[in-house]
Every structure is written in structure tokens, then in C-alpha cells.
Chain A
Amino acid sequence: MHLGTEGFQDHARQALKDEPLQNALHLLTAEFVPRRVAAMQALGDPEALRTQARAVKEQAIAQLDTYLEQFADNLDKLGAHVHWAHDDAEARDIITSIAQQAGAKVIVKGKSMAAEEIHLNPHLEELGYEVLETDLGEYIIQLAEETPSHIIAPAIHKTRQQIAALLHDKLGDPYTEELTDMTQIARRALRQQFLRADVGITGVNFAIADTGSIVLVTNEGNGRLSSTLPRVHVALMGMEKIVPRLDDLPVMLKVLTNSATGQKISSYVTMITGPRRAHDLDGPEELHVVVMDNGRSNILASENREALYCLRCGACLNVCPIYQNIGGHAYGWVYPGPIGAVLTPLFTGLDTAKHLPRASTLCGACREACPVKINIPHMLLNLRRQSVSRGDASAGEGRLFSLWAWVMRHPGLYRLGLKLARLGQTPFARRGWLGKLPPPFHSWTQSRDFKAVAPQSFRDRWQATLQYEQPSRNGAGGGRHE
């Protein structure tokens, strides 16, 4: 189960002390970031591509009702079933009844963040179905009874040795740390299950309105197997996955794979247009597409609408100085990192997730990395503002900032304040930094240093410089500026 978002600060603190996790995060940063940067640069004009990709999502979301309807009509023509789920409970019920009608025992799953979002596995397992994650990373996580910690690399927090031990313990194969052998062990175990499975559940990367196609982007081939071998294929999608036209696919695909893993294209891109047709020798007999709202219409109505443009590529996680230090689990819910700090409060409410929007330095790296240019820092500020106006900030903090704002509006007071601070800080300052301050400022310096007030303000130095330089300028435009 997920850790829960309330304990964010504790989880973050623990994560910082977790050595294997820290190693994994260093690896992730060292691998994914340069790969993406190089790949995007190789695209010639990445900026133009991002603009184009964003325009596609803007259009899709601005007319979401129209495109959803068109998508559903097209699926209908193809003989696929479309289901509409208002919330997580409805989505679970829909999928359960599909499994029931299929007389299913074994269910195989491709990677799906939407399924994680509605806690589908535990629900189906409780009802007695045998549910198998088939993405290697997700499979490892399932064997370990944990949850994913990264959108693209779910098992990034586990070391090779931990995984080797896990495969040995759970599957009974001889212990090996050889990557190829480990992979083959998983392949054999899962292939058996693919052939037994009655139902395959996958996510959706893109849903194409004008053809009724769904597109799966994978590297391992488990998405292909899940949507080919079982008699029934269920595709679960958040309603924002829509793109208007088939012709939008080239650009969307390009920005997605290049941002996610730095690949020009993933090993497999599977475009499914309806269930198998009468003459096909393989493919599922039934295709069910479950379109899920689960809070998305609230986001659509809010000032944070652009959160719905997210492609779940993971790029913003990899560049985030906070994610790089604490990893995915600390965020406590399905979506970690910068976009998680936005989505989690939007989906689950600020009551429990009020810490997340504050877990950001607002450095803007996420926005720069995002293939659809989502302004994450802006939304974090929106959420912080909302959080403060609900009274989430402590009374002391509120008073401090009111005082600050008042002083800032009065230059004389401000200068006096600086003078006092310069005197007051003397016992605490070390080489220009304040490491520890007394109350009420102590909570700031608990986990970070504060820059000491400089002996001379910029303004004073500027004026001194001007006076000093003036004679050499021969009076040419050397007037003093305030």
C-alpha cells in the first residue's frame, strides 16, 4: 500500500538516510537526464516540437467533450465496448464485472498508472482473481509487495542483489545476479501466465478520437502480449488521454519517448483499433475501453487545468532536486515528483497533501524538461496560495510574513531593520551564513542555512561606486540614478 501523503516530512527524512535508495537515485539522475537532453537536442528543433505537442493537448482538452464523444462513437462502430467511470469505485466495479462475465481466473496486467490510481490489484485479488503485473519492474514490485517509485522505472529503488534474492525466494530458481538470466527467469514465469490468462488489462498512452484507436507505448512487449493473448482486453484510461487526430500521433510519440527514456521511439508502439476482426487468427475477441474521470473534471474546471496535459513521461521527476534526493515513495501516492506534487492534492485534496506543493524549490527545471511545457511551478504556487487561505500555515508564520510585507513597503523601516539585523546576527553568523537562529526563526534554520545580512547593502555600495566613478566620466551622462 502507499505510505500516505500526510507523513511526507517523515518519509522524506527517512529517504535521505536510505543508502540503496540514494545510490539508485544518483544512478537515475546520471542516466536519464543526459539521455533526454541529448535525445531532445538531436531532434533539431525540440522547442518547436514541444510547442506543437502542447498545442495538440490544448486543443484536445479545450474540446474534450467533443473528442470523447467522437472517440466513443468510433469504438462503437468497431464493436468495442466503451464504459464511463465517474470515480475509482465505479472503475473497479466495471472492470470486476467484465472479469466476472469473462469467467476469468487469471488476469495479466500491462503497466498502468491509472490502475495504480484506483488500487485495482488489491481489489481484484481480494475478490479471488489471480492478478499478475507483467512489466518487469512492476512484477518485481509485486513480488516484493511494494509500490512503484518512478513512473517509468518502477523498481528503481531496488538493487540488483535485492531483486536476485527476490526472484530466487519467490520463484525457486537458482540464485543469479546475471541480468540476462534474471530476465529469462521472469520471462518464463510470466509467459506461462500470459498463455493462461483470460483477461488482459493495460493502460493507454494515447486515445485517438478520429479513428477510435488506442496506442500503447512499451519496450518489453508485455503490453502487446496483454492485448493479444487473453480473450478479453480491458484498456483503462484517464479521460485526458485523448488526442484529436491520427495525424497528431507522430509528434506526440516523438516527444513522449524522447523525454521518457531518450529513445527516438520505444521498441513497441501498438495501435489497437477495435477487437480482432473475423478473419484474424489472433487478438482479443472483446475490447473494453474504460474512460475514467475520478477527479479530472474538477481539475478541468480549476485554474490548474494544464495538469491534464501530462503525458506521464517522468522527465520532471528526473530533473527535480527534491525527487533526486527523496525518491518516489516519500510522496506517498501514485504520482511522485513535481507533477505528483500537483496531481496528488488535486486528486486527493489538500487536507492530506498540503505538504507536497511546498516540496519544491520552484527552480523551474520541471517546466523546462516537460515535453508539453506544463507550468508546474505556477500550479504549485496556486496550490500553496489555496493552502494558506485555508489556514494551513501556522499563525506565527502568517504574522511573520505580514510583518515582512509591511516593512518592505516602508523603506526607512527596512533600512532600520537591516541595521538591527546586522547587530543582532553577530553571535550567529559564520562566514556570511547563519546556521542556527533562535525562535521564532529557528524553523527556517533547522534544515537549511540562511544568508547573513551583508555588512553593506547593495544600494549603499552602488551609490558609493557611482560617486567614485563620476569624475572619470567627464560628466557624460553621469547623472545619479535612484
Chain B
Amino acid sequence: MSNQEAFLARVRQALQTGGQSHHAEAVSAENGEVVSLVAEGEDLAARLQRELEGVGGSVARVKHVAEAAQYVTRLAKEKGAEVVVRWQSDLLDTLEIDDALQAGGAKVHTASPTSAAEADNRRQEMRDLLARADLGLSGVDAVIAETGTLMLTAQPGQMRGVSLLPPVHVAVARTDQVVATFADALRTVRQAGEDVQQNLTSCISFVTGPSRTGDIELKLTVGVHGPGELHLVLLDEPGA
């Protein structure tokens, strides 16, 4: 196997050999800012809704926590959900939704944060549950208006699989979590602390609409591997 030194030495050698004919290179790429398609002062929530619906997601605007809970419960019932797996987050906890879901016939399992040792014990169980789950319920870390994209980080309480394995994914977000662009969403990640690698978590999933494919005759079909349905419940209650 090659080692790093030998590999990079070859690259360095090649860079020098090809160097003369490439003097025009290294145009400054410092300007990382991309032109935003979101207009100054545009209603971000409205834009988000339009974009997400445009790619086959559904968006429900609600005014109160209770309304959000009702919406999710009704949806679970409609889908005949028997197994629900959810994130644990402050926002989801304030919905106090577990009882209502249970009353509707769904068993709710929460990916609550644990100690590292405990996590080792719970992984298999959670995976089996997710494999059977009919509905995954998550929060978001941010939502991007420009493209209708949810930003979901992987951290204690926030399993990746909740937004991936079940056929239906429901996400609950507050309107103050909506940012204009992808670059803005990355900025919130940076601002979370000194250590960028720490803030990035092991995995950030940017999700825009249901899972889709055009692999058969370029015709759009949803739900091929990930969820076939994506619902965003957007809560308009500040500081909830």
C-alpha cells in the first residue's frame, strides 16, 4: 500500500512539472459568498413553503403548540401508524405529543440521549424499531428558505435514521429557525461553538422533499429508499 508521503510526493512532483503552463491558475476563490436568490426582506417562511411544496413536500403553518400536536396526531392516524420513533428535543417535548399519539393507537419510542456506554446497548434496539417504524418525527437545526431544505444534525437525541428509514417523515420547526440560504445555515453551524468539527457533528443531512428517483425513463417517482412523504410543521409561536 502507498503511504501518505509517497503519494503526496508524486502529487507535488506533478504540480511542478505541469506548473509552467498553468500560471493563470489560483484565481482568488476567497470570495465564498454566493449570490442569494432570496430577496432582501422577502418573507422567508412563505418562500420556504413554496420551495418545499415545489419538490413534493407538504408544509403546514400552525400558530400554537397545541395545533402542531394535533396536526401530527391526525397525520399519524391517517397513515395508520403503529410505530413512531422520534427525536428528543426541547421543541418536540413541548408538544407533549406522546400520549395523544398512543391514544391514537401508535406506540412512541424516543431516541433520548444516553451515556456513551448506554448508547452501545441501545443501538440495536433502536435500529430494529426504526426498521419497523411507520413514521419518524424529528425537529430541525435550521430550515433553508431558498431551496426548502431541512438541516438535520446527528447528535444525542437526534438519530439520523428517524428522517431516513420510515416511509413518512414529519419535522417540526419554529419560524425563527428559517434562514435564507445554504450558506446561512452553515453559518449557524459555525456559530455554535469554537470547534467546527465538533459543531458539524458526525453527520449533517440536508433534506429537500421526499426521496426521489428518475432512473426509469427519467420519470419522477418518490419513496425509493428514503421516506416517500415529507411533512414540515412550521410553528409560528415565537420562543416556543
Q: Which residues of A line the B interface, CB within 8 A?
A: 24, 27-28, 31-32, 42-45, 48-49, 52, 54-56, 58-59, 61-65, 68-69, 72, 74, 77-78, 82-86, 90, 93-94, 134-137, 140, 153-156, 159-160, 163, 179-180, 182-184, 186-187, 190-191, 195, 211-213, 219-222, 224-225, 227-229, 239, 244-251, 253-254, 261, 263-283, 291, 293, 297-298, 300-303, 305
State in angstroms the CA–CA spacing of A300 and B17 once bound together.
Answer: 8
Query: What are the 3 closest A-B residue pairs judged by CB atoms, nearest first?
Result: A221-B226, A247-B32, A137-B215
Task: Enumerate chain A residues within 8 angstroms of B154, measured Cβ to Cβ.
Answer: 276, 280, 282-283
- Contact between B202 and A272 (Cβ–Cβ < 8 Å)? yes
Q: Which residues of B line the A interface, CB within 8 A?
A: 1-4, 6-8, 10-15, 17-18, 21-22, 25-29, 31-32, 34-35, 37, 51, 55, 111, 113-116, 119, 122-123, 126-127, 130-131, 146-147, 149, 154-156, 159-161, 164-165, 181-183, 186, 190, 196-197, 200-219, 221, 223-227
- Contact between A279 and B156 (Cβ–Cβ < 8 Å)? yes
Closest A residue to B31 by beta carbon equals A52
Name the distance in Å between A289's Cβ and chain B's nearest Cβ. 12
Task: Enumerate chain A residues within 8 angstroms of B190, measured Cβ to Cβ.
Answer: 246
Instruction: Pick the most buried of B1, B8, B29, B208: most chain A CB atoms within 10 A of its CB.
Output: B29
- Contact between A187 and B197 (Cβ–Cβ < 8 Å)? no
Closest A residue to B57 by beta carbon equals A267
A228-B161, A268-B206 are known contacts; what are 20 more A-B pairs with Cβ within 8 Å? Answer: A59-B27, A61-B25, A64-B11, A184-B223, A187-B223, A187-B225, A191-B131, A220-B213, A225-B226, A247-B32, A253-B182, A264-B146, A264-B208, A265-B206, A267-B226, A271-B205, A273-B200, A282-B130, A282-B154, A300-B14
State in angstroms the CA–CA spacing of A272 and B206 once bound together.
Answer: 11
Task: Enumerate chain A residues within 8 angstroms of B213, measured Cβ to Cβ.
Answer: 136-137, 183, 219-220
Task: Enumerate chain A residues within 8 angstroms of B29, measured Cβ to Cβ.
Answer: 52, 55-56, 58-59, 244, 248
Name the distance in Å between B177's Cβ and chain A's nearest Cβ. 18
- Contact between B8 and A269 (Cβ–Cβ < 8 Å)? no
Closest B residue to A264 by beta carbon equals B147
Task: Enumerate chain A residues within 8 angstroms of B186, measured Cβ to Cβ.
Answer: 246-247, 249-250
If the complex has contacts A56-B29, A84-B7, are A273 and B201 also in contact, measured as CB distance less than 8 A? yes
Contact of B26 (CB < 8 Å), options: A32, A63, A222, A225: A63
State in angstroms the CA–CA spacing of A291 and B10 once bound together.
Answer: 13
Closest B residue to A46 by beta carbon equals B35
Task: Enumerate chain A residues within 8 angstroms of B119, measured Cβ to Cβ.
Answer: 278-281
- Contact between A221 and B224 (Cβ–Cβ < 8 Å)? yes
Contact of B215 (CB < 8 Å), options: A155, A229, A251, A293: A155
State in angstroms the CA–CA spacing of A31 and B214 once bound together.
Answer: 11
Task: Enumerate chain B residues within 8 angstroms of A43, measured Cβ to Cβ.
Answer: 35, 37
Closest B residue to A82 by beta carbon equals B4
Task: Enumerate chain A residues within 8 angstroms of B197, measured Cβ to Cβ.
Answer: 74, 77-78, 211-212, 273-274
- Contact between A224 and B126 (Cβ–Cβ < 8 Å)? no
Name the distance in Å between B38's Cβ and chain A's nearest Cβ. 11
If the complex has contacts A261-B214, A273-B200, are A282 and B7 also in contact, measured as CB distance less than 8 A? no
State in angstroms the CA–CA spacing of A159 and B221 once bound together.
Answer: 15
Task: Enumerate chain B residues within 8 angstroms of A58, measured Cβ to Cβ.
Answer: 25-27, 29
- Contact between A159 and B217 (Cβ–Cβ < 8 Å)? yes
Task: Enumerate chain A residues within 8 angstroms of B182, measured Cβ to Cβ.
Answer: 249-250, 253-254, 265
Task: Enumerate chain B residues within 8 angstroms of A247, measured Cβ to Cβ.
Answer: 32, 183, 186
- Contact between A305 and B206 (Cβ–Cβ < 8 Å)? no
If the complex has contacts A58-B26, A273-B197, are A305 and B221 also in contact, measured as CB distance less than 8 A? no
State in angstroms the CA–CA spacing of A268 and B212 once bound together.
Answer: 10
- Contact between B37 and A291 (Cβ–Cβ < 8 Å)? no
Contact of B113 (CB < 8 Å), options: A219, A246, A279: A279
State in angstroms the CA–CA spacing of A302 and B37 once bound together.
Answer: 39
Closest B residue to A135 by beta carbon equals B215
Name the distance in Å between B209's Cβ and chain A's nearest Cβ. 5
- Contact between A140 and B215 (Cβ–Cβ < 8 Å)? yes
Contact of A265 (CB < 8 Å), options: B161, B208, B211: B208
- Contact between B4 and A84 (Cβ–Cβ < 8 Å)? yes
Task: Enumerate chain B residues within 8 angstroms of A297, measured Cβ to Cβ.
Answer: 10-11, 13-14
Task: Enumerate chain A residues within 8 angstroms of B113, measured Cβ to Cβ.
Answer: 279
Name the distance in Å between A212's Cβ and chain B's nearest Cβ. 7
Name the distance in Å between A263's Cβ and chain B's nearest Cβ. 8
Name the distance in Å between B190's Cβ and chain A's nearest Cβ. 8
Name the distance in Å between B174's Cβ and chain A's nearest Cβ. 22
State in angstroms the CA–CA spacing of A372 and B21 once bound together.
Answer: 19
8 contacts between A and B (CB under 8 A): A58-B25, A183-B223, A219-B212, A229-B161, A268-B208, A278-B116, A278-B119, A280-B156
